[in-house]
Amino acid sequence: MAASFPASRAIVRFSDDSWSSAESNDDVHDRNIKSVRSLNTKGSSGNQASTVDRMEELELCRAWRDRQDVAARNRLVESHLDAVRALAHKYASGRAPLDDLVAVGRIGLLRACETFDPERGLRFMTYASFWVRAEMLGFVWHNRSLVPAGRSKLQRRLHPLRHERERMIQESGDRDAVDEALADRAGVSVEQFRRGMSEWNRRDVALDEPIATGGQTTRLDELSDDAPDSEVLLLSREVCDVRRDVVAAALESLDERERFIVESHLMAGPEEELSLSELGQALGVSRERVRQLELRAKRKIKSQLKRTPYEVELLLVS
């Protein structure tokens, strides 16, 4: 019987290390946001960046892809700044100034240039909007704290391990062993690991602590109203959209059998999940072969996710 391939779902059950991306993006992001901000003068004084038609866009993309023509890349980026500003207005707030969002949006355009394939028939901005939105959301996410805090390299490295640490401690009850294992994975000492975790724990004001000794009122009570913060709701929806887009893009790298296994085993809910044996029967292969295909699919997805902007990695594990 031919296998029935289900529609994509947005949640994947992988361990945190499966989502890891290359750390080299960290320093690039911090350096670029400073240098790129100074380039945002075009359009900021009221002059609109000139746009390009489809044929010119195709020529610029090919010039950058084939010859690494920097002038062509810059022209391509400049021609899409109006679209970046439109997105920036959507996310701008007191904690995320418009100019900073345009700066990180430009970084998104530059990153999109590195991986865009002009021969696939998509317009550049259709593809680049994911990267632009991811950079902006990452910036907003990092500035969401009521008490802004800096982001050290150590904090960025340890961020993906925070939730796994909590889970492992709950399961084993051995905090020391968990810290040693995760510190070794992160390539830092146990002391550095604990200091980094402590920095993250201090990132926000403890809103659930009573304001006065013995009191029942918390800071959260004073800040809360009857309606959810619209900015928080918007950010949450956007984060879900980015997660879904990242997973969908990663699934494109799989062949038909691999995708069926991932969607029917790793992504399915408890009532829909198929066992490896059931998958083997559906595909006409052994259980061991299904396991091999699943491992291969995970490696492909992990490879794709390493190309994801660093800021999206934080959204995936937050």
CB 260 within 8 A of CB 5: yes
Lookup: tokens for 159: 């961020």
Number of compact structural domains in the chain: 2
How many whole angstroms separate alpha carbon 264 and alpha carbon 258? 10
Task: Write the pLDDT tens digit of every residue in 193-238.
Answer: 888 777 655 544 444 555 555 555 554 454 444 444 455 555 556 6
Task: Write the pLDDT tens digit of every residue in 41-50.
Answer: 444 433 444 6
pLDDT score at 121 = 82
pLDDT score at 39 = 42
Looking at the structure, tell me whether residues 78 and 20 fall in a common domain: yes
Residue 28 maps to a domain: yes
Task: Write the pLDDT tens digit of every residue in 160-176.
Answer: 677 778 778 877 888 88
pLDDT score at 206 = 46
pLDDT score at 202 = 54
Q: Is the pLDDT of residue 289 over 90?
A: yes
pLDDT score at 214 = 57
How many whole angstroms separate alpha carbon 268 and alpha carbon 165? 25
pLDDT score at 175 = 86
Q: Is the pLDDT of residue 105 over 60?
A: yes
Looking at the structure, tell me whether residues 61 and 188 fall in a common domain: no
Residue 195 maps to a domain: yes
Residue 2 maps to a domain: no
Look up residue 80 and give its amino acid: H
Query: Lowest-confidence range among 61-65, 144-148, 178-182?
Result: 144-148
Query: Lowest-confidence range among 4-13, 159-168, 255-264, 309-318?
Result: 4-13
pLDDT score at 200 = 59
Higher pLDDT: 159 or 82? It is 82
Looking at the structure, tell me whether residues 46 and 139 fall in a common domain: yes
Residue labelled with tokens 């240098």: 35
pLDDT score at 60 = 95
Task: Report the chain's mean pLDDT, rounded to a whole number.
Answer: 70
Looking at the structure, tell me whether residues 174 and 295 fall in a common domain: no
Looking at the structure, tell me whether residues 103 and 47 fall in a common domain: yes
Highest mean pLDDT among 92-106, 267-281, 287-301: 287-301
Query: What percent of the chain stands above pLDDT 90?
Result: 16
Looking at the structure, tell me whether residues 185 and 310 fall in a common domain: no
How many whole angstroms separate alpha carbon 198 and alpha carbon 213? 24
Q: Determine phi and psi for 118, rounding to 5 degrees.
A: -70, -10
Looking at the structure, tell me whether residues 157 and 304 fall in a common domain: no
Higher pLDDT: 265 or 42? It is 265
How many CA atoms are closer than 13 Å to the CA of 99, on its beta-carbon side? 11
* Domain boundary, last residue among 202, 223, 244: 223
The arithmetic mean of pLDDT across residues 275-283, rounded, is 87
How many whole angstroms separate alpha carbon 222 and alpha carbon 84? 36
pLDDT score at 67 = 94
pLDDT score at 315 = 44
DSSP, residue by residue, the chain: -PPPPPPP-S-----GGGG---THHHHHHHHHHHHHHTTTTTTTTSPPPPP--HHHHHHHHHHHHHH--HHHHHHHHHTTHHHHHHHHHHH-BTTB-HHHHHHHHHHHHHHHHHH--GGGS--HHHHHHHHHHHHHHHHHHHT--SS-----HHHHHHGGGHHHHHHHHHHH--HHHHHHHHHHHHTS-HHHHHHHHHHHHTSS--TTSBSSTT---BHHHHH--SS--HHHHHHHHHHHHHHHHHHHHHHTTS-HHHHHHIIIIISS-TTTPPPHHHHHHHHTS-HHHHHHHHHHHHHHHHHHHTTS-HHHHHHHH-
**Bridge partners, 88 (sequence order):** none
Looking at the structure, tell me whether residues 307 and 267 fall in a common domain: yes
